[in-house]
Structure 1
Amino acid sequence: MKLLEIFLTFLRLGLTAFGGPIAHLSYFHEEFVKKKKWLDEHSYADLVALCQFLPGPASSQVGMAIGLNRSGLLGALAAWLGFTLPSAVLLIMFGLGMTYFNLQSHHNILHGLKIVAVSVVAHAIYGMWRKLCPDMGRSLIAIVSCLVLIFIKATLAPVIVLIVAGGIGAFFFKTTFVLPHTPTVRELNRKLGVCCLIIFFSLLVLLPLLRSVYPMHSLELFDSFFRAGSLVFGGGHVVLPLLQNEVVTPGWISKDLFMAGYGLAQAIPGPLFAFTAYLGAVSELTPNGWTGGLLCLISAFLPSFLLIAGALPFWEKLRTFSHIRQSMLGINASVVGLLLAAFFHPVWTSAIFNLRDFLVALVGFILLEKWKVSSWCVVLFSIFISLFIF
C-alpha cells in the first residue's frame, strides 16, 4: 500500500506540475512537508541541498530521494515512474506523430516551437544568472565558459569546463552557507549505497569502451544518454547542449526535430528530462519509436537513481566539507556559461532569422519573466502566431 501511495501521489504531480524544476520543488514541499508530513522542513531542505550538489535533474532527484526515504529503492522507483510517466508518454506519442509529418509542409508550426525554445532558454538563463552569478568572479567564470564552449566543440569540453570551474570555486570562493543538520527519517543502507556508486562509475567508464568494441546503435544510445544524465549540473535546460552534441551532430536526429521536441517539452507537466524519450522515439536509426524512447528515458535517468541511492546514506558527512560547498559555486557559475553557449547555438541560430522572429521570442520572454505566464501558454501563443501570422 505504501508503494502504491507513493506512485499515485507522484503520478498526480506528474500530471499537474507545470513550470520547471523550481516550481516542482514548491509542489513537492506543499505535498510532502505541509500536507502529508512525510518530511519536516529541515529534512526536506537537506534532500534539496543534496540534489543541488549532484548532476542530473534536481526535481526528479528530490522525488526519488523522497521515495527512497519513504520506502527504500522500490519507493524511489515508484516516485520516478509516477512523476515521469505522463510527460514521457506524451513526448513519445508526439515524436511518433512527427515522424509521419512532412516537416516542410508544417514549417510554420515547427518554427513556432523553435522560437518558444528561445524564450524559455533565455528566461532560464536570466534567472540563473541573477542567482548563480551575483559577483564579478562568478560572472567571469560564466562568460569564459560560454566562450570556450562556443569555440571548442570537443565532446569532453563541457566536462572539462565544469571540472576547472569547480576547482576554482573550491580554492578561491568562500561560502557561509550552512546546510540543515536534521538527518533523514529513514536509516539507509551504506553497503547498498556503495554498490550503487560502483555501478554508476563502472557504467560511466565502461560504456564508451563497449561502444567502441560493439558499435550497436542501442549501445550507442544507452552510452550517450547515460553520459548526458551523468554530467549535467543545473537541471533540464542545461542538458540541451550535451544532448544536441550527442544526437544531432552524428546525424541521428535532425536539428529541426530536436528543437521542435524541445519546444513542445515546455508545454507539458513533469520533468524536462523526459525530452530524452522523444529523442529516442524520433531517432532515424533503430531502435526508435516506443523501444528507443523508453531506452533513452531509462538511460538518462539511471545515473540520477544510482547517485541518489549511493549518496544519500553518506550525505550527513559530505555536507560538512567546506570545499564541496565552495566548488559548487564555481560549477554553478560555469553551468550558466554552458547554457548561454547553447542559447547561441543551436537555440538562437536555428530559430531567429529576422526582426519578426526576434519580437515573437521577446514577447514570449516577457510573458514568462514579467507576467509569470505558464510555459505551456507561451507555447500555445507561439504556435498560434506561427499559424496565423508567419
Structure 2
Amino acid sequence: MASYLSTLSPIAPVRRIRFIIFLKDVFILACTTFGGPQIHLAMMLDRFVVKRRYLTEAELLELNALCQILPGPTSTQTITALGFKIGGPNLAYLTLIVWSLPGVVVMTSVAIGIYYVQQRSISLDFTRFIQPMAVGFLIVAGYRIAKKVILNQRGMVLAIVSALASYAFPSPYITPVVLVAGGFATAFLYEKHEKMEKAPIQIRWANFFLWIGVLVGAATLGAITKSLPLRLFENFYRNGSLVFGGGQVLTPMLYNEFVEFKHYLSRQEFLSGLAIVQVTPGPVFSFASYIGVLSMRNGGLSGQLLGGFAATAGIFLPGTFLIFFVYRFWNQLKRYRAVRASLEGINAASTGLTASAAISLFQPMAENGLSVLLVVATILLLEYSKIPPYLLIIAGLFLGFLV
C-alpha cells in the first residue's frame, strides 16, 4: 500500500501545475483576443492545440460546434467546456472567471466613467463619432455571420421574416419566439442530413434543473421583492438562456429590453458602450456589465458595482450550466439529424435579429449626413483594410474630443 501511495503522490502536484498553466493561457487569451467568436476560435486553436496540445483540432472544433447550438456566449462556453474536459467542474468555473474578468473590469470601469462624466454635466458629445461606428461594426458582424449561415433561399426567407417580426414588435419576448420558430422551421427537413448510428442517450439532469431552478427562483424573488439587482440578474439570466449566435444577436435583445422597453439606458449611452465593447478583449457579453452599472446609476458606487455584478453573473451562468449539462451526452445527441437540422433555422433567425437591430439603431441617424458617412466608412474600413478595430474607435474618440 505504501509503495502504491508513493507512486500516486506526485500526480496531484503535476495536475495542479498543469491547471495553473492552463489558466495562465486562458488569461493571456482574455487580455489579447479581440473581434468576436471567429477570432477567438483561431487564437484558441493556436494556443490550446498547436502550442499546448490540450486537445486535437477536431476536438476543439467539435466543442465549438456544440456551443454554437446552445444558447449563450459561444467563445465562453467553448473555453469553459475545455476547462471541464481538462479538470472537471472546478477548473471550468475558474476558467469562466479568468476568461471573463478583463473584459468585465474594462466595461464596468467605462460605465462608471460615463456616469462620472454625466454627473459633472459634461456632455457625452465626445462619443458622437463612435456611435455611428458601432452601427457599422454591427452591420459588418451580421453580414459576416450571414455569409456563413444563410446557404439557400429558405435561410434568406427566415432571416427576412425574423427581421420584420423583431422590427415590428420591439419587445424582449419576441426574440425567443423568433429563434424557436426558426429552429422548428428547419428541424423537419432533417432527411437531408446524413444518418448516423444512434446510441442510447444517458442524461444527468442536475445542471438542467439548476439552470431552470435559478431562472424560476430569480424571477419569483424579483417579482416579490421588487429588488432591482435581483430583477437585473433575472433579466440577463433570461437573455443569456435564449441568445443563440453570440454577441451580435445579444445586442438587439439588450437594446429592445433596456433601451426601448425599460429605458434604463439612453440610446446614446447604449451606442457608446456598444462601440467600446467592440475593442474590449475577451467575450462581447461583457457588455452586460456596462448595462448593469448604468441601470443602477442612482445607487452610488456600491449600487453600480452590484448592478454590474448581477448583470455579469446573469449573462454568463446559464450558458455555463447548459454546457455542463449537454457536454456529458453530446456524443449521443449529435447523432440525431433533427438536432443538426434545427441549427440552420436558428442561425438564419439570429441573422434577422441582427439586421433588425442595425436598422433600429441606424434609423435616427439616417437624416444626418455625417453619421451616414461614418457608418459607411466604418463598414468599408472593416471589410477592405487591415486597420484594427480598436484603432478605429480610438480615432473616433480622439476626433470627438477635438471637434
TM-score between both structures, scaled by the size of structure 1: 0.91
Is the 8 Å Cα contact of residues 114 and 351 (structure 1) preserved in structure 2? no
Name the counterpart of 2:240: 229
SS where residue 373 of structure 1 aligns?
coil
Structure 1 position 131, deviation (Å):
1.2
CA 1:379–1:178: 2 relative to 1, 3 Å: farther
Structure 1 position 350, deviation (Å):
4.8
SS where residue 320 of structure 1 aligns?
coil
Structure 2: distance between partners of 1:235 and 1:70: 24
Structure 2: distance between partners of 1:74 and 1:84: 16
Is 2:279 the partner of 1:262? no
Name the counterpart of 2:225: 214
Name the counterpart of 1:185: none
Structure 2: distance between partners of 1:5 and 1:238: 33
Structure 1 position 111, deviation (Å):
1.4
Structure 1 position 41, deviation (Å):
1.9
> Which stretch shows the higher mean deviation, 7-16 or 201-210?
201-210
Structure 2: distance between partners of 1:267 and 1:234: 19
Is 2:308 the partner of 1:308? no
1:381 to 378, 395, 399: 395
Is 2:104 the partner of 1:88? yes
Structure 1 position 77, deviation (Å):
1.5
CA 1:349–1:78: 2 relative to 1, 3 Å: same
The one-letter code of the counterpart of 2:350 is V
Is the 8 Å Cα contact of residues 12 and 82 (structure 1) preserved in structure 2? no
1:318 to 318, 325, 333: 333
1:115 to 125, 132, 142: 132
CA 1:218–1:378: 2 relative to 1, 3 Å: same
Structure 1: distance between partners of 2:125 and 2:225: 41
Deviations 1:212-248 (A, max 9, x none): 2221111101100101111000001211122123322
SS where residue 153 of structure 1 aligns?
coil
Structure 1 position 97, deviation (Å):
0.8
> Which stretch shows the higher mean deviation, 89-98 or 152-161?
152-161
1:1-390 paired onto structure 2 within 5 Å: 1=16, 2-102=18-118, 105-172=122-189, 175-176=192-193, 193-248=204-259, 249-283=261-295, 284-286=297-299, 288-345=303-360, 347-389=361-403
Structure 2: distance between partners of 1:12 and 1:208: 36
Structure 1 position 33, deviation (Å):
0.8
Gaps of 5+ in 2: 1-15
Structure 1 position 89, deviation (Å):
0.7
CA 1:288–1:112: 2 relative to 1, 3 Å: farther
Structure 1 position 153, deviation (Å):
2.8
Structure 2: distance between partners of 1:177 and 1:89: 45
The one-letter code of the counterpart of 1:356 is L
Alignment identity in percent? 29
SS where residue 207 of structure 2 aligns?
helix
CA 1:305–1:336: 2 relative to 1, 3 Å: same
Structure 2: distance between partners of 1:74 and 1:31: 22
Structure 1 position 16, deviation (Å):
0.6
Deviations 1:99-141 (A, max 9, x none): 0113874343221221121111010111112111121110000
Between Structure 1 and Structure 2, whose CA radius of gyration is higher? Answer: 2
Gaps of 5+ in 1: 182-189
Cα-Cα RMSD: 2.1
